[in-house]
Amino acid sequence: MEEEQNKGQGDIQPAIEVTNIVKTYKLYDRLRDRVKDAFGLGKKSFQYHYALNGVSMKIYQGETVGIIGTNGSGKSTILKIITGVLHPTSGEVHVNGRISALLELGAGFNQEYNGIENIYLNGTMMGFSEKEIEAKLPSILEFADIGDYVYQPVKTYSSGMFVRLAFAVAINIEPEILIVDEALSVGDVFFQAKCYHKFEEFKEMGKTIVFVSHDLNSISKYCDRVFLLNRGELLGEGSPREMIDAFKRVLVGQYEPAGETKKMSWDNEDLPGSDLPEGALGVNPNLQEYGNGQARIVEYRLIDQKGLPTMAILKGSEFTMYMKVRFEESVPAPIFAFSIKNVQGTEITGTNSMIEKAYLESGEPGQVKEITFRQRMTLQGGEYLISLGVTGYRGDTFQVYHRLYDVINVTVVSDKNTVGFYDMESEVIVTDAQ
């Protein structure tokens, strides 16, 4: 597995190498148990909690790497260990390069100092002289763009102003490795755009970027590789698309390790798309599927405006996504869904029957439903991947009955591509000024 992941890295050296990191904390039921343990009194009265359990990572120079996972999975903990804020219980960390880290708000800043004083404080901590910091000050202030607030104590800042200053300092001290922990979600949309533009500049300069984010679109767009953590353990590493799809399985409790994927009990004649001509619809031969099997997608196809199965859609024309679902058990108010991604794994668009208020009845055992989504294609010309799903709720619990990831490849044929993901179909009128 590791050899496959490292294939193509050539002679590039790891910027960060984490080996078998374990981080444990003691959990006490009562405060007095903590006090007794501190003084070695009485018997053991705590339990160990593993924030990280045997995690190993290699991050290579020039890579942009994302770390994703649910809350409490150990994402922030591993970043703090890499940056030296925390010490591991066991294991080793090797860092090759100057790190600049933007962790949770407040880290590395003195709340009583004003913005200017904190800039000098952080620069000094990074090993810069006062003269060197003074030379960097204009670029820091320009990027932060918080005006005269820079002369006020940072304890008076809003969270948005704080993250502006913190990020401006982090990226202007010439780091070789930039580490960011979810902080960008605090800034306004314009500042976020400026930060991500800086990410792109850093990538072009060959710098290493590691960031934690719940924004899966940003993970998909900017990352070369992604690590997936869950409950302190590393579940996998791979391309953004692979790991984001795996993360979605984790969220609904249906993740299976590589090589251990449970096969659903399909009858041969009921395999998805099995009644279709082989290869005719761009069906993925290695599709990823999962679900509890209470409802199953047994057929699907993409249909053009003439009513014919296809894998190529003319931009501007109508098309239909069709699927057939069979219910194995009683399913209250099933939700039928489809979505479209680009080849990098970013979800571009999609909808479902609940959003469209199209079907709110229950499915009964043995029933078969045909579902069609009809719309006009406004995406730019290119290659896309379609995913399908049948989900729903039992009480307050979200259920995945059957999902098919990246099941169909569709080519959008276009003789006019505008900017971005889709065409706004603007009408342009130019007249003489009055």
CATH number at 318 reads: 2.70.50.60
Considering the domain architecture, whether residues 376 and 290 belong to the same structural domain is answered as: yes
Structural domain that includes position 91: 1-97+176-261
> Of 135, 151, 173, which closes a domain?
173
Q: Does 348 lie in the same domain as 202?
A: no
Does some domain include residue 291?
Answer: yes
Residues 184 and 168 in one domain: no
**Are residue 124 and residue 197 in the same domain, yes or no?**
no
418 belongs to a structural domain: no
Question: In CATH, what number is assigned to the domain containing residue 56?
Answer: 3.40.50.300
Say if 28 falls within a structural domain. Answer: yes
Residue 220 shares a structural domain with residue 111: no
- Three-state SS string over the chain comes to CHHHHHCCCCCCCEEEEEEEEEEEEEEECCHHHHHHHHCCCCCCCEEEEEEEEEEEEEEECCCEEEEECCCCCCHHHHHHHHHCCCCCCEEEEEECCCEEEECCCCCCCCCCCEHHHHHHHHHHHCCCCHHHHHHHHHHHHHHHCCHHHHHCEHHHCCHHHHHHHHHHHHHCCCCCEEEEECHHHCCCHHHHHHHHHHHHHHHHCCCEEEEECCCHHHHHHHCCEEEEEECCEEEEEECHHHHHHHHHHHHCCCCCCCCCCCCCCCCHHHCCCCCCCCCCCCECCCCEEECCCCEEEEEEEEECCCCCECCEEECCCEEEEEEEEEECCCECCCEEEEEEEECCCCEEEEEECCCCCCCCCCECCCCEEEEEEEEECCECCEEEEEEEEEEEEECCEEEEEEEEEEEEEEEEECCCCCCCCECCCCCCCCCCCC
Question: Does 286 lie in the same domain as 380?
Answer: yes
What's this model's pTM, rounded to 2 decimal places? 0.75
Is 125 within the bounds of a domain? Answer: yes
Number of domains in the chain: 3
- Please tell me the predicted confidence (pLDDT) of residue 245: 85
Domain shared by 289 and 209, yes or no: no
Decide which of 157, 173, 189 is a domain's last residue.
173
Residue 425, in any domain of the structure: no
Question: Same structural domain for residues 268 and 370?
Answer: yes
Regarding whether 185 and 167 lie in a shared domain, the answer is no
Do residues 269 and 253 both lie within one domain? Answer: no
Asked which of 125, 158, 173 is the last residue of a domain, the reply is: 173
Residue 69 lies in a domain: yes
Q: Note whether 35 and 129 are same-domain residues.
A: no
In a domain, 419, yes or no: no
Answer whether residue 432 is part of any domain.
no
Calpha distance 214→70 (Å, rounded): 9
Q: Are residues 191 and 59 part of one domain?
A: yes
pLDDT tens digit at each of 434 positions of the chain: 444 445 446 567 899 999 999 999 877 777 776 767 766 676 667 778 899 999 999 999 999 999 999 888 999 899 999 988 899 999 999 999 888 887 765 567 888 999 999 999 888 887 788 898 999 999 999 988 898 999 999 889 888 888 888 888 888 888 899 998 876 666 677 787 888 888 888 888 889 999 898 888 788 888 999 999 999 999 999 998 889 888 888 887 777 665 444 444 333 334 444 444 333 355 777 778 889 999 999 999 999 998 988 888 999 999 999 999 999 999 999 999 999 998 878 889 999 999 999 977 899 999 999 999 999 999 999 889 999 999 999 888 999 999 998 999 998 988 888 888 989 989 899 999 98
